[in-house]
Structure 1
Amino acid sequence: MGALMKPEHSWPIPPPGGWTADDLDTLPNLPPHTELIDGSLIFVSPQTLFHTRAVDFFNWQLQSLVPEGLEVLREFTIDIDRRNRPEPDVIVFRDDAIHGLEQTRLPAGTVLLAVEVVSPESIDRDRETKPVKYARAGIPHYWRVENKDGRAVVYVFEREPVSGGYVASGIFHDRLKVSVPFPVDLDLTAITPQRRHPE
C-alpha cells in the first residue's frame, strides 16, 4: 500500500479555553488578517471589490483629515482582552500608541474610531458581535459601512457613557458629514463611481 497522503492544510487545534491574543503572534502559517474572537480564530474570506474600495476610501480619506496626535491604519489588530483581538478594517487611534515598526497590535483604549466594512460572511460579526466588544473596550465611535444596491451606506454609532453601549447617531447615504471624533465631510458616491461602458 502506498504511503498515506498528508492533508494539504493542517489547522491549529485550540488549547483548552481557546486561543489568546498573544497566540496570534506565535502560531505558524496563519492566513493574513486572522482575528481572535472569543478565543476562536476567524479566517477572512476573499473580499469583494466593494469591500476593497471602501476600505481604501476610508483609509486614505481619514488620513487626510485626522488632526495632529492621531493616526489611521487599515487592517491592524487591537487588543480588547485576553480572548479578543479583532482586526477592524480601519482605525483612528492616538499616535502615542506606536512603539516601533515591529509592532503587531494596538491597545483598544487608544482607538477613537473603528470602521468595519461589511462582507457577506461578516454580517453578524459586524452588526452584532464586534460593536458590543468595541463599546465594552471603550472605543467611542463605530462606523459600519454596507453595500446597499451598489452604493455605500454608513451607519454611525457613538458610545453612550452611562450604559457603555453604542447608540445610533446617523445613517448616511451619498454624503457622510459628522463633527466627531473630528470634522469629516465625505462624498460616499466616490466609493462606487458609476462607470460608462462603451457601446
Structure 2
Amino acid sequence: MATNLLLDKRTPWTAQDWLELPDDGRRYEITAGALLMATPSSPLHQAVTDEIRQLLRPVLPKHLRVQENTGVRLGDNLRIPDLVVLRAEAVWRPGALLAEDVLLVVEVVSPSSAQEDRVAKPAQFARAGVAHYWMVDPADGPCVHVLRLTGTVYERSHLGRGEDVLALREPVEVRFTPASLLPPAP
C-alpha cells in the first residue's frame, strides 16, 4: 500500500518537498514549514488577473514574459503568485522559478487570502530580492498598490484608485487606471 505523502509528512515542508508532490490539479504553497492549499479563485479574481496579464503582455520586451500561477522558490518557501513577470530564459528551467528570475509579482487580493496577499507574501518576496510587487484590490475602488524594493522591504512608490492614472516606468513602462482592470459591471 502506497503511503500518502500529504498525510504522513511530520517534518517541516520545504520547497524540495513541493517539487515532489503529485500533480493532482491543486495549488499548493509552502510557507514557514507548512503546506498550504489555495482555494479556487473567484470569477472576479480570475477576470482581474486576466486583465492585468493582457495589460502587461504587449508592453514587455522580448526578454521578459508574464505568467500566471507559477511557483517561485523563496529559500525553503514556495509561493504561487497570481502573476509574475520573469526573464524569458527561466521558462526552460525545470521546477519552480528562482526569485532572481522574477522582476514583478502581482497579487489580486481575495477576501480569503487578504492577510497572506497584503503581509506574508510581500515580506517573503522582499526578503528574496524580488524588485517589484503589485497588490490589486478589486473591492477597494479598485485599488493598486505599487511597491518597490528598498533594501529588504517594500516601499509604496505609487497608489491608484478607480480612475487615477498610474504611469509606471519600472519594471516596464505601462499606463492604466485601476478601474480598467475590472470587467464591465452587469
User: Shorter-chain-normalised TM-score: which range?
Assistant: 0.7 to 0.9
The answer as to 2:151 corresponding to 1:170 is no
Structure 1 residue 105 displacement after superposition: 1.3
Deviations 1:132-184 (A, max 9, x none): 110110000000010235x42110100013xx211011111234321111211
User: Aligned partners of 1:91, 1:77: CA distance in 2, in Å?
Assistant: 9
Among 104, 114, 117, the residue aligned to 1:123: 114
Superposition pairs of residues 1-199 of structure 1, within 5 angstroms: 11-16=6-11, 18-28=12-22, 30-82=24-76, 84-99=77-92, 103-148=94-139, 151-161=141-151, 164-173=152-161, 174=163, 175-195=165-185
Structure 1 residue 11 displacement after superposition: 4.8
Greater share of helix: 2
Residue correspondences, number: 181
Cα gap change, 1:117 to 1:195, in 2 (>3 Å): closer
Q: Equivalent residue of 2:9, what SS?
A: coil
Identity of aligned residues (%): 30
- Mark the structure with the bigger radius of gyration: 1
Q: Are the counterparts in 2 of residues 76 and 104 from structure 1 also a CA contact under 8 Å?
A: no
Q: Equivalent residue of 1:42, what SS?
A: strand
Tell me which moved more, 107-116 or 35-44: 35-44
Q: Are the counterparts in 2 of residues 31 and 43 from structure 1 also a CA contact under 8 Å?
A: no
Q: Are the counterparts in 1 of residues 158 and 166 from structure 2 also a CA contact under 8 Å?
A: no
**Structure 2 unaligned blocks of 5 or more:** none
